[in-house]
Structure 1
Amino acid sequence: MRRFVAAFTISLTMTAAAEAQNTPCGGDFGRFVQSLKAEAVKRGYDRATIESFFAGVRQDRGVLAADRRQGIFKTTFTDFSRRLISQYRLDRGRELARKHDALFDAIERQYGVPRGILLAFLAFETDFGAVQGDFNTRDALVTLAHDCRRPEIFRPQVFAALELHRRGDFPTDTTGAWAGEIGMVQMLPRDILERGVDGDGDGHVRLKTSLADALFSGANMLREFGWRPNEPWLEEVSVPADLPWHETGLNHPKPVSEWARMGVKPRSGRFEGANLKAAILLPQGRKGPAFLAYPNFSTLFEWNMSMVYVTTAAYFATRLEGAPIYNPGNPDPGLSDAEMRLLQQKLAARGHDVGGIDGILGEKTREAVQIEQRRLGLPADAWPTRELLNRL
C-alpha cells in the first residue's frame, strides 16, 4: 500500500523553508535541475559529487499520479482496518516479536517505544519489509520538489539525499515509495540523516536491509516526536448513551478519572492510563467503535497525518500487544466522496478551516462538523451524516 505521504509530517525548520522559496518550482525540468546543481555548489559540494548524484535524473510522471491518487484514506475506520489488518499480519507480527525478542527489549529500554507500535508501522508501511517500493527515490524527490504543490517539503529532501550520496549511503538507483521514503519503516532522507540509528553496529544506517537499523531508527524518530515511555496510546472503551458528545474528540482531553465518573468504562479489565489525560475518539460517531486516545496517540500523526491510518495503526498495535477485536457497533452510514466534498464546501462557506476540499474526514473537518452539529441541536459526535449535510 502506498501510504499517505510521510513528508507531510516532517518538521521543517524555518531555514529550510526559506531555502526552498529562493529557487522557484515548476518551469522547464532541465533548468530546474540546473538550479539544484547551482545551489549544491553554494552548499559546498564538489562538482564530481554533484554530477554523480544528478546524472540521468528524470521527471517521474508516475510519482505525480500517485501523489494525486490517495482515495484509500476516504474509507471508514472499520473498512480501512479490516482491509489492513489480516490474520497473516497478526501472525507474522507476533512471530517477529518472539523471534527478535531481545532486539525489541533493547529498543524499549533505550527509547520506551513498545514492539506493538513498531510492528504496526512495519506491517502497514512495507508488509514487514517485503514491499518497500520500486520508485527511484532520487527521481521521486526531484520530481516532487519541481512540482509546485509542496516544494518547501521536498526540496530539502533532495539535498539530504545528496548528503547521503556524498557519504556513500545513497546509490542513485535507490528505490522506495513514491514520496521518497526509504526502507522497511519508510523514512525520508532528512530523517535518516537526523534520526537514523546504526542498530546492528556495522557503521551504516541501512533501512532497506537491516531490521535492527530500521527498528532502532523508527523508535528514535518516535521518541523525538514526543513519545512518552511506559504509557498507553489507545484503549477501547464503552461509552454511555448520554455522554456529552460535544466533549469528545482529540481536542477535548480530560483526566481518565473524569471520563470514568461520566460512565466511560474500559472494554475489559482496568483503565491502562488511569492517572493520565485522554480524549474520547469516536472514529464513526457515537454508534461505532469508541477509544480512549492517550497523549502518545497524537505523536503518531508525526509519522502519518491520516486520521484513519493512524487510528488503524494504533489499534493494530494494541492487538499485537494482546487487545481483543474491537466492537464495531452499528454506526450511521457515512457520506460518499461527492457528499463529503459538498459538506466541506458548506463548512468552509461558514468560515470553518477544513484543511482543504478533498473528501477526506480529517481532524479539522471533524472539528467543524462537531461545531455545526452542536449549533443545530444534533448529537455532536463529529461523525458527518446526510442529516447534517441536508441541514446545512
Structure 2
Amino acid sequence: MTRRLRSFPTFAKAALTGLLISTAPTTAQQCGGDFRQFLAGVKQEAVSKGLSPQAADRTLAGAQIDRKVLSRDRAQGVFKMTFLDFSKRVISGYRMKNGAANMKKYAGVFQREEAQYGVPAPVITAFWALETDFGAVQGDFNTVNALATLAHDCRRPELFRPQLIAAIEMVQHGDLDPGSTTGAWAGEIGMVQMLPEDIIKFGKDGNGDGHVKLKESAEDAIMTAGAFIEHLGWRRGEPWLQEVAVPQNLNWIETGLGKTKTGGQWAALGVQPRWGQISSNLPASLLLPQGRKGPAFLAYSNYNIYLEWNQSFVYTTTAAYFATRLAGAPVYTQGNPDPGLNDAQMKQLQTKLSQMGYDVGKIDGILGSGTRDAVQQVQQKLGMPADAWPTPELLNRL
C-alpha cells in the first residue's frame, strides 16, 4: 500500500510520518543551486509529463523560498503525550457535538460515499475533526512556496518534487490558486489535509461543480477522503476498534500490534466487550496503550488503515477511538494505569535497551513500536507483566 508523507495535522500536531516516493531525476538535477534555475527544471519536467507551459508558469512564477518551512522541517516536534492525555485533550464535547452535527448535515454525501467506498461516516468525521477542526484550522503556509522550498532543499527532494509537479496539475485543473491557496507547512491542503499527488489520484468532485477543492467544499473532502481510505485497504462492513475488558491473568506477551487472534479466541481467554459484540471470526490485536491497568481495545484489520494515515500509535489509536465514539460507543473506562516515564527517563530507558542489543531506533523519548517491542521482551525476561508499558519500576530493574 502506498504511504503518503504526513506532516503534523494542522490542529492535532501529531508526528511527521509516512513515505511517498516517486521516480525522479538524480539529486544533482532535482535540488539545490540557483532557485530560478531549479524552477525552470521543474517546469521542463512538468511539460515533459504533459502539463501545459502556461500552468507551470502560473504556478512557479511567484514561488519563493519560505524560511519558516525550512525551520519547521528542521525542528519537527515529537509526539510524547500518553493516549489518555491526548485523547482527553482532543476529543472534546465541542468536537463530539460538531461531529454529530456535520454527520447529520452531510448525511446524503456520507451515504453516497459509503455506498461507493465503504468507509463509515464516523471514520471520516474523526479525521476531519483532528486534522483541521472541521476545516477551521487548515494552515496558513502558501502551498506552492512550501512545496517549492522543500523540493529545492536537498534533504528530501525525492518526496517533494513530485508534489510540486502535482500542484502544477492542480493549477491546470483550476483546483489550486498559486497566490492564495494555503495549507500545512509540508504542503497538505484542505479539510482532511492531503498532498497534491493524492488529490490528483483520489480527488472527487462531491458537490458537482466540476472541481476538487478540499479547502472550501466539505462534499469534496468527504468523497475524496473516502476514496483515499478505500485505496489504503479499508474492509467494507468490518469494525476498526472496540473497547474491551481484560482479565488480569492474561498472558500479556500475546498483546500488541502484529500479534493477532480471532475475536472468538480472545473471548475464550476472558476478553469481554464493553460495548457491542466481539466479531468472533475476524483477526484482532489486543492494544494496551498504557499497559494492562489502562484502557484496552481490540484492533481489527481496519485499524491498520489508521497507521497508513499516520504512524503515530497514540494519534492513530485516538483517531480510531474517536470514530467509535461518533458511532455511538461510550467513553472508555480509564482504569488506573501505572505511572509512565518522563522524557529524560524514556531516553535513559531507550539508551539502556539499545546497549542491551534491542533496536529502539533513535534515542528520542518517544514510545514507538521498537521501544514497545523491546520493553515487552525485557519485561518477560525479568518476570514482569509483559504489557509493553515502560514504568519507573522497569527502569530501576535495568
TM, length-normalised to structure 2: 0.90
Residue identity matched to 1:179: A
Alignment CA distance shift 1:239-1:144 (3 Å) = same
> What residue in structure 2 maps to residue 215 of structure 1?
222
Higher helix share: 1
Shift of 1:53: 1.5
> What residue in structure 2 maps to residue 122 of structure 1?
128
Separation in structure 2 between the aligned mates of residue 135 and residue 78 of structure 1, nearest angstrom = 31
**Matched residue of 1:9: which SS?**
coil
The answer on whether the counterparts of 1:4 and 1:70 sit within 8 Å (CA) in structure 2 is no
The answer on whether the counterparts of 1:37 and 1:50 sit within 8 Å (CA) in structure 2 is yes
Mapping of residues 29-108 of structure 1, within 5 Å: 29=35, 32-71=38-77, 73-108=79-114
Separation in structure 2 between the aligned mates of residue 29 and residue 354 of structure 1, nearest angstrom = 39
Separation in structure 2 between the aligned mates of residue 341 and residue 306 of structure 1, nearest angstrom = 18
Shift of 1:261: 1.1
Separation in structure 2 between the aligned mates of residue 269 and residue 350 of structure 1, nearest angstrom = 43
Mapping of residues 111-150 of structure 1, within 5 Å: 111-150=117-156
Separation in structure 1 between the aligned mates of residue 125 and residue 148 of structure 2, nearest angstrom = 30
Which of 244, 250, 275 is the equivalent residue of 1:268?
275
> What residue in structure 1 maps to residue 299 of structure 2?
293
Which of 195, 210, 213 is the equivalent residue of 1:206?
213
Computed over aligned residues only, the root mean square deviation of the Cα atoms, in angstroms, reads 2.2
Separation in structure 1 between the aligned mates of residue 24 and residue 397 of structure 2, nearest angstrom = 44
Shift of 1:231: 0.7
Separation in structure 2 between the aligned mates of residue 154 and residue 377 of structure 1, nearest angstrom = 47
Residue identity matched to 1:294: Y
> What residue in structure 2 maps to residue 188 of structure 1?
195
Separation in structure 2 between the aligned mates of residue 296 and residue 132 of structure 1, nearest angstrom = 26
Residue identity matched to 1:302: E
**Matched residue of 1:153: which SS?**
helix
Mapping of residues 343-358 of structure 1, within 5 Å: 343-358=349-364
Separation in structure 2 between the aligned mates of residue 233 and residue 369 of structure 1, nearest angstrom = 26
Separation in structure 1 between the aligned mates of residue 292 and residue 241 of structure 2, nearest angstrom = 17
Which of 313, 316, 323 is the equivalent residue of 1:307?
313
Separation in structure 2 between the aligned mates of residue 165 and residue 317 of structure 1, nearest angstrom = 34
**Matched residue of 2:235: which SS?**
coil
Q: Which moved more, 1:206-215 or 1:97-106?
A: 97-106
The answer on whether the counterparts of 2:262 and 2:284 sit within 8 Å (CA) in structure 1 is yes
Separation in structure 1 between the aligned mates of residue 108 and residue 119 of structure 2, nearest angstrom = 14
Shift of 1:36: 3.1
Aligned length in residues:
387
Alignment CA distance shift 1:375-1:172 (3 Å) = same
Which of 356, 361, 369 is the equivalent residue of 1:363?
369
> What residue in structure 2 maps to residue 9 of structure 1?
18
Mapping of residues 246-257 of structure 1, within 5 Å: 246-257=253-264
Shift of 1:18: 4.8
Alignment CA distance shift 1:347-1:141 (3 Å) = farther
Which of 279, 282, 287 is the equivalent residue of 1:281?
287
**Matched residue of 1:379: which SS?**
coil
Alignment CA distance shift 1:52-1:99 (3 Å) = closer
Separation in structure 1 between the aligned mates of residue 151 and residue 79 of structure 2, nearest angstrom = 24
Deviations 1:361-388 (A, max 9, x none): 2223212221222223222111112233
Segments of 5+ residues of structure 1 without an aligned counterpart are none
Separation in structure 2 between the aligned mates of residue 162 and residue 252 of structure 1, nearest angstrom = 44
Shift of 1:286: 0.9
Segments of 5+ residues of structure 2 without an aligned counterpart are 1-10
Separation in structure 1 between the aligned mates of residue 152 and residue 354 of structure 2, nearest angstrom = 30
The answer on whether the counterparts of 2:15 and 2:77 sit within 8 Å (CA) in structure 1 is no
The answer on whether the counterparts of 1:17 and 1:153 sit within 8 Å (CA) in structure 2 is no
Separation in structure 1 between the aligned mates of residue 320 and residue 221 of structure 2, nearest angstrom = 19
Separation in structure 2 between the aligned mates of residue 144 and residue 68 of structure 1, nearest angstrom = 11
> What residue in structure 2 maps to residue 238 of structure 1?
245
TM, length-normalised to structure 1: 0.92
Shift of 1:93: 0.7
Shift of 1:148: 4.0
Shift of 1:198: 1.1
Separation in structure 1 between the aligned mates of residue 288 and residue 173 of structure 2, nearest angstrom = 47
